[in-house]
Structures are given as C-alpha cells and as structure tokens.
C-alpha cells in the first residue's frame, strides 16, 4: 500500500554572474532596511473550522483544519505519518489557503492529517474510518487529494467504499451535470505528457521546475549555466528534477533518505529516477562510480545556484543557514524553511521563493481542470502553468532586486488581493 554584502546600498545585484561554485554569498546591510523583513502574514489568523478525531479501533488521532472557505468550499490534501500533529495540520491548512489565493483559485484552503505510520497494518481502514466520520465535510465543503503517506489510489479505494464518486465530490455537486463533469475530470487526470507520464503525477514538479527557471532568469543565468540541488526525489522533487534536466539545467545533487548523490557536471537524472523504489530511494547499486556519495544533509550546503528543499517541512532551520551556498532557495516542500531561517537567509542575500507559489502547480491545475479551463492536451496545461508561475516569480524577484522586499512578503500581497476579489463569489463548476 502506498500510504506512502554589498556595503554601499544593501542590495545584492542579480545580473549575470559566474557559474556557481565559489560558495560566496553577498550580505545585505539589514540595519539599513528592516521593514522588508517584517512578517505580516495576512493569512495568519484562526482557522474557520477545526475537527479533532480519534479512531475507535486503534486510538490513532487525526485532524481536519479548514482555514478558509471561499464560496463554501475548501481544498487540501490528507496526509498520514507517525508524529503528525494538530499544529502541523493547521500550519499546512494556512499554507493551502495562501496557495489557492496566490493563484486566484475560487476555493479556500484546508488540510487533514492522521498520526499513524502509513505502512502500519490496517492503515487503509483507519483512513476509511477517518473519512467516514468526516463525510459531511466531504459531501458539502471539503475537496481532498493525496499528500505525504497517502496516495491518490488509496483515496480512490476509500471513496469508492464510502459510496462517493471520488475526492472531488464536494466540487462536483456544484456542477449542473455532475456525471459529465466527473467524466471530463477523469479524462483530464488520465492525460499523459510527451514522455508518457501521467499529467496529474508530474504537473506539480513541472511547476517547481518553472519556478526554478524563473528564479534563474532573475539571476541572469541561462538554463545551461544553472546548477540545482534537490532534497527529496518523490513526486514533487523527482518531477522537478526531470523537467529541469529536460530544460538543460545541471542538477548536480539530489538527496533521498539514504544520502546525497553529487556530481559537479550534473547527474544522469533519468537513470537515477528510474532506479527509485516504491518509497523514493535510489538503488545505490545503479549509481555510477564517478558520482560522489555524501551525507544526507550535504544537499543543503553544496555550491549551486538554486537549492530546492522538496522533502520534509522545516528542513532549513536557523542553525543550518550559515552553511547554505545557494543563491536562491525554491521551496518545493510545504514550510521547508523556518521563519528564523528565512530571515537569516535574506540577511545573507539569499531570497526564498515560498512554497505556496512554487509548489502550487498541482493544486492550480486541478481547479483549472475542474473549471474546464484546461483539458486533455498536456501542452495547454504546461503553457498555462509556465506562464502563471514565471510571472509570479518574476514579480517577487523584481521586488527583491528593487528594494529587497522578501519574496514571501510580495507574494502575500497578491494573494491577499486575490482573496479579497473572491469574497462573496459563487462557485460554479461547468
């Protein structure tokens, strides 16, 4: 089962630069510019609704946090992992609300989580009982999806057992013809890209790759001169690695649970991805002899242009920032950087493209699909996501280059404006 220093004006030039590898990072004189570092998150407010749950059979605990409703709907995945907490779920729900608003999606943000090892016997039964007790939410207001420890196939099994069409059920009921809408959505979900990969599996990673390419453009770096390190090569990290490689970017380091693989001239990404097992670990027997095997956390410190934490939340903490050599961080994992770490990175001249923009590709695409804005032609989906992601990253990086407004703050600005514009809107699904 898958339940798997520029001392003069405090500015860092972002024009063309030599190929990375020196490990030198300009510093900002933060004493001159304190205002851009103030964290005034407009989404940092109490959740609209919260449900705590205890499994009557195993005692496992779970939570649903609905941070924001738009038109009576909220969307957000369901995760299952040992050690999952209410605070984690609440933080992710807030992030999801910010994510949907950043892309102007007509839906609020939510998240669910169960504190259980997804490999445990009976995990699917726990998930089924969790959803059974939350059925009123699933029928009326909450659209869920796969997340850490829970695959879409698991959701499909459980929703079938519960007599619900699938995890888009609450949105489908807004359609005048739910059966036709369901057929259209299923057709879109079954579409494959030019490499034969299911579009729904790779669109999120494609979005992260486009965020990286947008950041590289702001750095004045062509794809062929850009180096990237990726922590985590599951669905998101692996997809980002694939599309970056296709764009000509040198992915020089990738990390899985067993360690970091590094090659300064770039790794053979297709071969390494093909050697992953069910849990996203690379078979070390297939790794070429000229690839250096490093400790797992080394991926955070190798000299590259762009660092992509795509594995776990809070991978970049305050104590690890001094060793980061990248010129920009692109968050593929939710809450990959702690607030204190992000501030320290900004002081060092390293901007962080926030998760709620960089990893929002799958969420945005799902709602474009639901609304009939994209269909079965994968190129339409790629073009739409590339245009929106590049535009948002360019806006954030321009604000950073102009007055050192950190990317997260400028993204909060357009997300809040979008949410205000959505207030009172009735959601219809064609």
Per-residue H/E/C for 307-324: EEECCCCCCECHHHHHHC
* pLDDT (0 to 100) of residue 226: 98
* pLDDT (0 to 100) of residue 64: 98
* pLDDT (0 to 100) of residue 135: 96
Is the same domain home to 368 and 260?
yes
- The contacts of residue 311 (CB under 8 Å, 6+ apart) are 231, 232, 234, 237, 255, 333
Is the same domain home to 205 and 338?
yes
Is the same domain home to 397 and 288?
yes
Asked whether residue 162 is domain-assigned, the answer is: yes
User: Which residue in this structure is represented by tokens 């420890």?
Assistant: 149
* pLDDT (0 to 100) of residue 235: 86
Is the same domain home to 219 and 157?
no
The helix-helix angle for 123-133 and 152-161 (nearest 10°) equals 60
CATH of the domain at 122: 3.40.50.10860
* pLDDT (0 to 100) of residue 429: 84
Cα(30)–Cα(27) distance, integer angstroms: 9
Cα(269)–Cα(137) distance, integer angstroms: 41
* pLDDT (0 to 100) of residue 280: 82
* pLDDT (0 to 100) of residue 107: 94
Cα(324)–Cα(316) distance, integer angstroms: 9
Is the same domain home to 139 and 243?
no
* pLDDT (0 to 100) of residue 26: 37
CATH of the domain at 224: 3.40.50.720
Asked whether residue 309 is domain-assigned, the answer is: yes
Asked whether residue 43 is domain-assigned, the answer is: no
Q: Residue 401 sits in which domain range?
A: 201-406
Beta strand spans in 29-152 (E): 49-54, 61-66, 74-75, 78-81, 108-115, 142-143
* pLDDT (0 to 100) of residue 225: 96
Tally of structural domains, the chain: 2
User: Which residue in this structure is represented by tokens 């630069």?
Assistant: 17
Asked whether residue 314 is domain-assigned, the answer is: yes
Q: Which residues of 340-373 are buried (b: 16+ CB within 10 A; e: fewer)?
A: ebbbbbbbbbbbbbbbbbbbbbbbbbbbbbbbee
Is the same domain home to 237 and 327?
yes
* pLDDT (0 to 100) of residue 31: 36
Asked whether residue 209 is domain-assigned, the answer is: yes
Question: Of 155, 173, 191, which one is at a domain's C-terminal end?
Answer: 173
Identify the segments of the chain with pLDDT beneath 50. 1-37, 39
Is the same domain home to 219 and 153?
no
Residue 87 half-sphere exposure toward CB, CA atoms < 13 A:
2
Beta bridge partners of 99: none
Asked whether residue 389 is domain-assigned, the answer is: yes
Query: Could you read off the pLDDT of 101-158 as tens digits, one per residue?
Result: 999 999 999 999 999 999 999 999 999 999 999 999 999 999 998 888 998 889 989 9
Is the same domain home to 258 and 361?
yes
């Amino acid at each position: 089962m898958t339940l798997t220093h520029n001392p003069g004006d405090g500015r860092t030039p972002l024009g063309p630069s030599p190929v990375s590898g020196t490990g030198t990072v300009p510093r900002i004189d933060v004493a001159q510019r304190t205002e851009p570092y103030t964290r005034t998150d407009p989404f940092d407010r109490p959740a609209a609704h919260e449900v705590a749950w205890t499994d009557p059979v195993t005692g496992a605990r779970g939570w649903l946090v609905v941070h924001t409703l738009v038109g009576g709907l909220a969307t957000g995945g369901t995760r299952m992992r040992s050690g999952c907490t209410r605070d984690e779920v609440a933080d992710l729900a807030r992030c999801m609300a910010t994510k949907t608003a950043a892309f102007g999606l007509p839906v609020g943000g939510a998240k669910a989580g169960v504190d259980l090892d997804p490999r445990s016997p009976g995990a699917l039964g726990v998930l089924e009982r969790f959803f059974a007790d939350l059925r009123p939410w699933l029928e009326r207001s909450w659209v869920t999806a796969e997340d850490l420890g829970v695959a879409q196939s698991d959701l499909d099994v459980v929703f079938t057992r519960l007599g619900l069409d699938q995890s888009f059920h609450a949105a489908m009921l807004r359609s005048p013809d739910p059966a036709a809408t369901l057929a259209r959505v299923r057709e879109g979900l079954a579409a494959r890209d030019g490499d034969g990969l299911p579009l729904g599996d790779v669109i999120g990673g494609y979005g992260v790759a486009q965020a990286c390419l947008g950041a590289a453009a702001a750095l004045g770096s062509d794809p062929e001169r850009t180096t990237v390190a990726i922590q985590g090569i599951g669905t998101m990290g692996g997809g980002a690695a694939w599309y970056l490689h296709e764009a000509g970017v040198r992915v020089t380091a990738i990390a899985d649970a067993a360690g970091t693989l590094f090659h300064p001239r770039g790794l053979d990404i297709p071969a390494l991805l093909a050697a992953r097992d069910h849990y996203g670990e690379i078979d070390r027997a297939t790794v070429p002899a000229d690839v250096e095997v490093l400790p797992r956390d080394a991926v955070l410190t190798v000299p590259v242009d762009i660092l992509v934490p795509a594995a776990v939340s809070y991978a970049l903490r305050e104590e690890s920032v001094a060793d980061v050599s990248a010129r920009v961080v692109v968050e593929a994992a939710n809450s990959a950087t702690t607030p204190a770490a992000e501030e320290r990175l900004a002081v060092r001249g390293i901007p962080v493209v926030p998760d709620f923009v960089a990893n929002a590709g799958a969420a945005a695409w799902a709602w474009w699909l639901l609304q009939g804005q994209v269909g079965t032609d994968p190129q339409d989906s790629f073009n739409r996501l590339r245009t929106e992601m590049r535009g948002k990253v360019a806006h954030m990086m321009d604000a950073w280059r102009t007055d050192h407004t950190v990317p997260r703050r400028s993204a909060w600005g357009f997300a809040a404006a979008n949410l205000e514009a959505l207030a009172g809107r009735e959601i219809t699904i064609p």
